Structure 1
Amino acid sequence: MKQTSRLFVYWAPRILGILFALFISIFALDVFELNAGFWKTTLGLSIHLIPTALILVILALAWKREWIGTIGFIALGILYIYWSWGRFPLSVYFAISGPLFLLGILFMVNWIYRDDRNLA
């Protein structure tokens, strides 16, 4: 495999994981529109940032162990569809679960490539 392909396979899931965590974090900002007190706003922000924390924990664990990213991100995508099925239009499922499945697949490609490289 060429050096550029090797770098892409390694860095793409990691960079996209960080960008997706930032994207999900944007949805937590709606807490500030409530004009609630400091503690209610802090609690609401903390609750809204739980999905971001899950994504970042899986990303941190998957940084060196790609199989964790493969299983973790695909599981998050399935769980999101399971918990929220029927509440939103189909485009919302593509916007949230789609990137999670993509991250899982990219980590799987990196994991498979890493295993092939170690066997050679």
Structure 2
Amino acid sequence: MRTSIKIVHWLPRIICTLAILFVSMFALDSFDPALSVWKQILAFLIHLIPSFVLAGFLILAWKWELIGGIAFLLIGLGFTPFIYLHNYAMNHSVWMSISVVLVINFPFVVVGTLFMVSHFLKTKLQLQNQIHF
């Protein structure tokens, strides 16, 4: 595999893992000293559900890049209005809401695009190898 294809192969996987870890960080707000240990653990696991779902999509994308790329692109673009409206209702700032959308959603749009680019580059390389033989 050429170096450029290796980079496009690994870059979405690394970015997605980091983005999932970033989203998982928000689950830490579930800890409350007023709650029992078991309630804190349950709340923490509930807050981690989006990260588990995203990890499932990463596993899917790892095997089937085109399907995973489309899924991450839809996740990144699909949740944009919800996250924007929720943040705008909380802070009444267009620019703050847009920045939150960019920080949370943009990595998944990039990941989806990179997974699809990786799929098409590998398909193109396979077709070129078949033509030469």
Could you state the TM-score of these two structures normalised by the residue count of structure 2?
A: 0.81
Partner of 1:13: 12
Q: Which has the larger radius of gyration?
A: 2
Q: Distance in 2 between matches of 1:62 and 1:13?
A: 10
Correspondence for 1:95 among 94, 99, 103: 103
Name 1:66's counterpart in structure 2: 65
Deviation, structure 1 residue 64: 2.2
The match for 1:107 is 115
Unaligned runs of 5+ in 2: 88-96, 129-133
Q: Distance in 1 between matches of 2:98 and 2:32?
A: 26
SS at match of 1:63: helix
- Unpaired runs of 5+ residues, structure 1, are none
User: Is the Cα contact below 8 Å between 1:58 and 1:68 reproduced in 2?
Assistant: no
The alpha-carbon deviation at position 114 of structure 1 amounts to 1.3
> Cα RMSD (Å) of the superposition?
1.6
Q: Is the 8 A contact 2:12 2:114 kept in 1?
A: yes
Q: Secondary structure at the match of 2:75?
A: helix
Paired-residue identity, %: 38
Corresponding position of 1:24? 23
Q: Write the distance in 2 (CA, Å) between the matches of 1:111 and 1:54.
A: 22
